[in-house]
Amino acid sequence: MDEPTLVLSRGDVAALFDADTAYDSQVRAFTAIGQGAARPSAKIMLEHPGLDDLCFTYASRLLPFGAVCKFGSVNPGNAERGIPTISATVLALDAGTGRLAAIIEGTEITTRRTAAATMVAVEALAVPGPLEVAIVGTGVQAAAHVRALEIGRAHV
């Protein structure tokens, strides 16, 4: 019998993947990569001559979980529309059957995960004492990094 596919919206991701959860996920991910337990792939970037957008995809697997694939696009023209320039979707497969288990809005995951990954790096590399950082840019990632640095200071 088919299991229903879980579908998580941006709001669902925001509610479930808070700063602490994102941080903990990145500690586990970097540890697993360092131990050879996680298998990330190279990112595939596809551009088309004459267009300013591009698409990307990559996959990973961390046992005992199934494969996960993220695909998305970068559309600079979206800035003029007031919507994010990067959009992504994450597909998760069941570890036992390989069947689609979840469709997850990937832009919110990416924003939170990337900022959390920075916090893990800060914790690993920062010297004791006051922390000074520079945020270059003003986009979604810049804002997420400022929030992560404010929230994550307890981790450092």
pLDDT, tens digit, 9 for 90 and up, residues 27-72 = 988 898 889 888 788 899 999 888 889 999 999 988 888 999 999 9
CA geometry: angle 83, 5, 44, nearest 5 deg: 55
C-alpha–C-alpha distance, residues 95 and 105, integer Å? 20
Q: pTM (2 decimals)?
A: 0.82
Beta bridge partners of 104: 8, 90
Amino acid at 111: T
Q: How many CB atoms lie within 10 A of CB 58?
A: 15
